[in-house]
Amino acid sequence: MTLPLEGLAAIVTGAGRGLGRAEALELGRLGAAVVVNDYGQPGRDGSGEASAGPAEEVAAEIRAAGGRATAHTGDVADFQQAAELVELAIAEFGRLDILVNNAGILRDRMVFSMTEGEWDAVIRVHLKGHFNTTHFAARHWRERSKATGAPVYGRIVNTSSEAYLAGSAGQPNYAAAKGGIVGLTTSTALALAKYGVTANAICPRARTRMTEDVFAGFQEPEDGLDPLAPEHVAPLVGYLASPAAERINGQLLVVHGGMVAIVERPHVQAKFDSKQDVFSYDELDAVLTPHYAERPPGETFAAAEVLGLKREPGTG
């Protein structure tokens, strides 16, 4: 039986642990040759010495299961190292078809306490890291398409977060980066559609090194698969990377615990027209103040207004 991703080659960033590891293993199980990227720093804040160990171990695990895999230990937030990652996939497997961006770090703090360095570090790894790999993969696919005069096969799966959708008080840098990733994804989807490439983003909820404190109160079950296990997320990534998902482009999907939700693009909740050439303060007060009268001062929109789903405070 032919596997869904047989003959295709993939890159998964941040694949040495957690979600990235589960995604790399799933793509390998579905038949893809995989470049397992991970910088290998032990701290979830990007601290500690870089190590080839995590990426090498996952690549070895894929090979032990009968698949093809190689490790890359570069920093995807470095423009040149991201270029080398894409070049490695093409050199090792003769092609690149799938890019899964997952690499990230956390440096949590309230906005009034956050340092410039804490902001810059998270934006760099999450948002710039997604851009760097997307840039070089997109350029490769565009050149291939122009050379043949026909569309190519290309799939991008980016990692956003519910922190962007519903806010996360102690993660302004992370939430902003994840929102930027959605904008990058939709822009990329529009730009690359004519070349045969799709780009989608997921908001996963899973128990990983990145979320170990968030889910500290949610104990793993003694029997059966943990509802917060990364293995619940990986199948959606495999599907979005497959030929079956060719009509899915520029979409945002929430996934966790055996549930997938498709998020609509923002839509207008209410609309008010001025009776004059320009709104006056008094006129705005007359229409907007009553509209928000039932909401306590300072309250933001609830997650349910965005997703129609319950979300625990602080979930990734």
At residue 195, the 3 state secondary structure works out as helix
- Cα distance between residue 171 and residue 108, in whole Å: 5
Q: Which residue has the tokens 């990983």?
A: 208
List CB contacts of 6: < 8 A, sequence separation 6 or more.
30, 31, 32
Catalytic residue among 145, 174, 195, 242: 174
> Is 178 a catalytic site residue?
yes
At 215 the pLDDT is: 47
> Is 187 a catalytic site residue?
no
> Torsion over CA of 207, 211, 216 and 217, rounded to 10 degrees?
-80
Catalytic residue among 145, 178, 195, 242: 178
At 316 the pLDDT is: 44
Instruction: Look up the pTM and report it.
Output: 0.88
Q: What is the pLDDT along the chain (316 residues), one digit of tens a residue?
A: 899 999 999 999 999 988 999 999 999 999 999 999 999 776 666 676 767 889 999 999 999 999 999 999 999 999 999 999 999 999 999 999 999 999 999 998 999 999 999 999 999 999 999 999 999 999 999 999 999 999 999 999 999 998 898 888 899 999 999 999 999 999 999 999 999 999 999 999 866 555 555 544 555 656 666 666 778 899 999 999 999 999 999 999 999 888 899 999 888 989 999 999 999 999 999 999 999 888 777 666 544 444 544 444 334 4
> Is 161 a catalytic site residue?
yes
Catalytic residue among 161, 168, 195, 242: 161
- Cα distance between residue 11 and residue 36, in whole Å: 6
At 66 the pLDDT is: 97
Query: Which tokens is 60 given?
Result: 């070895």
